[in-house]
Amino acid sequence: MRRAGIKAGGKIGVVGLGGLGSMAVKFGKAFGAHVTVFTTSSSKVELAKSIGADHVAVISPGAPAATSPPVRGLQFILDTASATHDLNPYLTSLGVGGRLVLVGLPETPHPPIKPGLLVSGGRSVYGSYIGGIPETQEMLDFCGVHQISCEAELIAAKDVETAFAKLKKNEGRGRFVIDMNTLKDFYELQ
């Protein structure tokens, strides 16, 4: 968001509301942006709003991202989804010069992008990975100033399979964090 020049009054979107997505919403709000969350799970609408989303667009897989109500004119979309999905509908939500940034890593490639969606609005798609030590420190300092923390659910080691099942059903709330104090009990059960 910093690289994209997001400032107060900017309009951004976040695809996916897991661990990265929930942090993206919080960062967007701290930058002063209007944040739209795109999710395929209607059960995540209240979570999105509770952490600061201004608008939530629930979309069916394969349906246009710009449905109910239409989302247009975003300057930046951070795509945190790790499942393979069509990027073209999100490109239609971007305004002129908008950027779609991929940080989710699906196992299989996304469907092809329609070149006309890039050319017609001067839009771009690129990826981003973790920054170096200076960028990480800047992010941590920003989190401290703006009191940003992650959404996490503490689980016992024995509940890892249950957590994976929740992830597959898109039922996770942020990150699952294993309580390391439960590892000994877990290994004794094996």
Q: Could you tell me the mean pLDDT of each successive run of 10 residues in the chain, 190 residues long? A: 92 92 96 95 90 91 54 94 91 95 93 94 90 90 94 88 82 81 75
Query: What are the strands of the beta sheet with 74-79, ordered from one edge?
Result: 55-58, 34-39, 11-15, 74-79, 94-102, 124-127
Tell me, yes or no, whether 3 lies in a domain: no
Tell me, yes or no, whether 2 lies in a domain: no
Q: Find out whether 4 and 76 touch, Cβ atoms under 8 Å.
A: yes
Spatial separation of the C-alpha atoms in residues 166 and 106, rounded to whole Å:
18
Provide the token pair at 18: 């897991």
List the domain range (segments joined by +) for residue 161: 152-189
Question: Residues 91, 65: one domain?
Answer: yes
pLDDT at residue 141, as a whole number: 95
Tell me, yes or no, whether 27 lies in a domain: yes
pLDDT at residue 142, as a whole number: 95
Question: Residues 78, 133: one domain?
Answer: yes
Q: Please tell me the total count of domains within the chain.
A: 2
